[in-house]
Each structure stands twice: as C-alpha cells, then as structure tokens.
Amino acid sequence: MNKYVIVGATGDIGQSIHKALSKDSVITISKSRMPEYESEHHFLDVSKAVTEEEVHELFKNTDTIDGLIWAPGITLFKMLEDTELSEVDTQYHISIRSLIVFIKVLLPKLKQSKHGRIVVISSVWGRVGASFESIYSAMKGAEESLVKSLAKELAGTSVTVNAVAPGVVRGKMTDELGSSDLEYLLDELPQHRMIEPDEITHSVLYLLNKNASSVTGEILNINGGWYT
C-alpha cells in the first residue's frame, strides 16, 4: 500500500484525487473542512507562513511517503493596482512558500520510496497569464518554474516532480461566475465545456504510477485545446 499526502484535499480537485487514492494510505491537509474520504487528517492553513517545525510535527511518525500532491488554491480576480499586499502574500504562501516548506520536510521521506512523486496542481494561467488575475498567474508561473528546476535537481534520485495545468474546471470557482460570464466562457472554450475534476485526477494518477518514472519536469496541459 502506497502512502500519499494531499494538501488541499477538500477542494474540488483535491477531493477527486483523494477518492481515487482511497484504497491507499492517505494523509490529508486542509484549512478548515474535514475530507469526505478516510485519511489521517490534519488542519493547517497554508495561506499563512507555516514553519518547518509545524510540518515536521505532522509527519513525525511517518518514515516513507510515496507522493506529495499539492492542490490548494483560492481565486483572486482583481487588477494588480487594486490588489492589497495581504492578498499577494496569501497567494504567495499557498502557491510557493508553503509548497517549498512541505517539499523540504518531506523530501527525505519521498527519497525512501522506490517511486517518490511530487505533483503540483497549477493552472493554465501559469502558462499564458491572465488579465485581472496577474498575481494568481504569477504565482502559478512560479510553481511551474519550481517544478522544472526541482526535477533537474532531483533527477539522480527516485523522486520525480511534475505539474498538471488545468483549464476551466467545474467546481466552486466556476460556480461563482454569473450566467452571462459563464456563457461567454463556454463559447470561448474550444470544446465548449468545462473540465471535470476527475479528468485532472486521471492525469495525476498517471504521474503517480511507477511506470511514469522517466516523466519529470513536465507540465501536463489539461485544457481542452485552450491556449495550446
């Protein structure tokens, strides 16, 4: 039985991944909501400055981890000039700083696995940028640079590092759109439909598989032909 860590396990994508891995041993992290599926669960707000000591404490009884899946995220739809620095800090902590802290703490445990995996859920906006989402896009772009760089850094180990960059995924974020905005968006998408969370999970499962050992430093575009 493999052991996986899912950070952001109660979001739409995180929950779908958790369901798919429910037969494995799963450690989940969320800010405030309990996960729907069985796991060893911990509450931790990764939108703030978490410490290495805090993360060490969560995993003090775990020797080996087979995969870290990073899936937290919140929207930030504002022009840069209207964005508060506190909102910038929140996006930075969620996408970059907390991710780095978790990797630093868990890397020795990932190296104990024959097939250690780090999978980051990024975004299409990290690939191409988005007006009114400059900060969100910048942090997702930083995630992708981290993935590519760390993959090279760890190429001599058993640990691979990859990301999945979804397009428009059906869930809580898209539920916030008004009917006119949603209609406009669907018309713009080449497939004229939103992506289901399970489609993202399918890509994550591929990257976690032992037969994906030569896949590292990749960003999988799951966007229905949008911005390819």
Where in the sequence numbering do the catalytic residues fall?
Answer: 136
> Residue ranges of the alpha helices (H) in the chain?
12-20, 52-58, 85-92, 98-111, 124-128, 134-153, 172-175, 179-188, 197-208
One-letter amino acid of 101: V
Q: How far apart are CA 203 and CA 115, in angstroms?
A: 17
Secondary structure of residue 159 in the 3-state scheme: coil
User: To 10 degrees, what angle do helices 134-153 and 85-92 make?
Assistant: 30
The DSSP element (H or E) to which 5 belongs, if any, is strand 3-7
Strand order in 25-30's β-sheet? 40-43, 25-30, 3-7, 67-70, 117-121, 160-166, 219-222
